[in-house]
Amino acid sequence: MRELYVGLMSGTSLDGVDAVLADLSEGRPRPLAHAHHAFDPRLRQALLELNSPGGNEIERAALAANELAHRYAAAVRDVCSIKGINAAEVRAIGCHGQTLRHRPELGYTVQIGNAALLAELTGIQVVADFRSRDIAAGGQGAPLVAAFHAAMFADADEARAVLNLGGIANVTWLPRADEIRGFDCGPGNCLMDLWAATHLGKTHDQGGDWAIGGSAIPALLERMLAEPYFAAPPPKSTGRDLFNESWLRATLAGGAPPRDVQATLLELTARSASDAIGLFCRGTQRVIVCGGGARNPVLMRRLAALLAPVAIETSDLHGIDAQQVEATAFAWLAKRALASQPAGLPSVTGARGARVLGAVYPR
Ligand SMILES: Nc1ncnc2c1ncn2[C@@H]1O[C@H](COP(=O)(O)OP(=O)(O)O)[C@@H](O)[C@H]1O
Ligand SMILES: [Mg+2]
């Protein structure tokens, strides 16, 4: 008997939503179908603006949430129709939602997406708001994917780290014997995307083609790496709340050739991730990379050089497409919620205990 779930992930990159139809019946989760629906520039801009304080933001957020629910529903319909599945066959949708603020130090995090409307539009029950309960229990509310990474990628004979290169980058450490750890290590693609948007008018630097023609600026890189977040020990999580345009402008402090800045930002992502693995994931033998950054060969080459002799490869070699890992994780988290099984790992988020995560919106 198949147990079908749909996971939805729309991350800090604001690139769009990934939907995965997954069979979670037994053993390792099996993704069956994937769809990526890109956000149009207007929605992306509206969401970007909602990431910092502004006028009438309650109504703007509510309307953006409704719009997201329609995008999410379309992506759900898409993955179901690829496999000829109807709504009644899907047990639940696990919906991460779109983060507008992530402030665990103030006791809150906000992901929007109007789960009630999503349930109404799809006729499928929805599990949403996975982060709040972990924060209520004193945790970071992030990263929540560590338990899923363990289910997918842990190996009894090898200490592994999973590196998710989304807008923000996060690491899950899967040692052979010790406790699992996980944390956001810093910017993934978000600063590179921001700079590419400013200077190329594009959503991102496809293939790292622009960055590779520039040279990283050592003094600028050192200023960026001096950000205290990087050296702080886990548990820790971050977002656009820290790594945003103001952060970038403050470290830039003056003019530099734009292409060299892009090369520096790519180096920042590679250095902060490889430094974090060296510092906090001692003894790692293999790094498995997922998220959109896995599709940037220039970034992957820099990571390989910095991590050598540790092996590095994308999750594609471990049975799951790099772009599908996080969405599949939220399908898996929905199943945990409905089974009343805890899903956050206190060793990762720093919560007082493992809690059942998510709020259920019935069919
Ligand atoms: N071919 C590519 N070359 C360079 N960067 C890419 C490529 N494909 C995806 N990306 C990067 O990955 C990002 C999307 O990654 P994703 O894992 O969806 O992040 P998030 O979870 O934050 O939405 C894009 O914004 C872009 O920066
Ligand atoms: Mg994305």
pLDDT given for residue 263 in this prediction: 98
Distance, in Å, from the CA atom of 276 to the CA atom of 296, rounded to the nearest integer, reads: 20
Write the residue with the smallest CA distance to atom 7 of ligand 1.
295
Chain segment 269-279, per-residue pLDDT in tens: 999 999 999 99
Residues with CB under 6 A from ligand 1: 9, 11-13, 15, 166-167, 189, 193, 204-208, 291-293, 295-296, 326
Reported as a single tens digit per residue, the pLDDT across 181-224 is 999 999 999 999 999 999 999 999 999 999 999 999 999 999 99
**Could you tell me what percent of the chain has a pLDDT over 70?**
100
Q: Of 34, 96, 193, 295, which is best to mutate to test ligand 1, by the most ligand atoms within 8 angstroms of its C-beta?
A: 295
List pLDDT tens digits, range 58-70: 999 999 999 999 9
Give the number of the atom of ligand 1 that is nearest the alpha carbon of residue 10.
23
Asked if pLDDT for residue 241 goes beyond 90, the answer is yes
Neighbours of ion ligand 2 (CB under 5 A): 11, 13, 15
pLDDT digits (tens, 9 = 90+) for 3-17: 999 999 999 999 999
Please tell me the distance from the alpha carbon of residue 291 to that of residue 79, in angstroms, as a whole number. Answer: 19
Give tens-digit pLDDT for 158-179: 999 999 999 999 999 999 988 9
Residue count (the chain): 363
Residue 209 tokens read as 């083609």
Confidence of residue 253 (pLDDT cuts 50, 70, 90): confident
pLDDT at 76: 98
Atom of ligand 1 nearest to the CA of 165: 17
Sheet of 16-23, strands arranged across? 30-38, 16-23, 4-9, 90-95, 126-128, 359-361
> For residue range 132-145, what is the model confidence (pLDDT) as tens digits?
999 999 999 999 99
Highest CATH level, class, for 4-142+323-361: alpha beta
Overall pTM surpassing 0.95 (yes/no): yes
**pLDDT tens by residue, 81-114:** 999 999 999 999 999 999 999 999 999 999 999 9
pLDDT at 234: 97
Would you place residue 27 in the very low, low, confident or very high pLDDT band (cuts 50, 70, 90)? Answer: confident
Centre of ligand 1 from the C-alpha of residue 138, in Å: 31
Atom from ligand 1 closest to the CA of residue 203? 25
CATH architecture, domain defined by 146-318: 2-Layer Sandwich (3.30)
Q: Which residues on adjacent β-strands are paired with residue 190? A: none
Per-residue pLDDT of 289-311, as tens digits, reads 999 999 999 999 999 999 999 99
Separation of CA 63 and ligand 2 centre (Å)? 21
Residues 320-324, mean pLDDT to the nearest whole number: 98
For residue 11, the model assigns a pLDDT of 97
Strand-pairing partners, residue 180, are none
Atom of ligand 1 nearest to the CA of 290: 17
Pick the ligand that lies closest to the CA of residue 37.
2
CA of 12 to the centre of ligand 2 (A): 7
Q: Max Cα separation, the chain?
A: 61
Domain boundaries, the chain: 4-142+323-361, 146-318
Ligand 1, atom 25: closest residue by C-alpha: 13
Span from the CA of 17 to the centroid of ligand 2 (angstroms): 6
**Strand ranges inside the chain, DSSP E:** 4-9, 16-23, 30-38, 90-95, 98-103, 108-112, 126-128, 160-165, 168-174, 181-187, 286-290, 311-314, 359-361
Ligand nearest to the CA of 293: 1
| Ligand 1 closest atom vs CA 168 | 22
Instruction: Say if residue 254's pLDDT is above 90.
Output: no
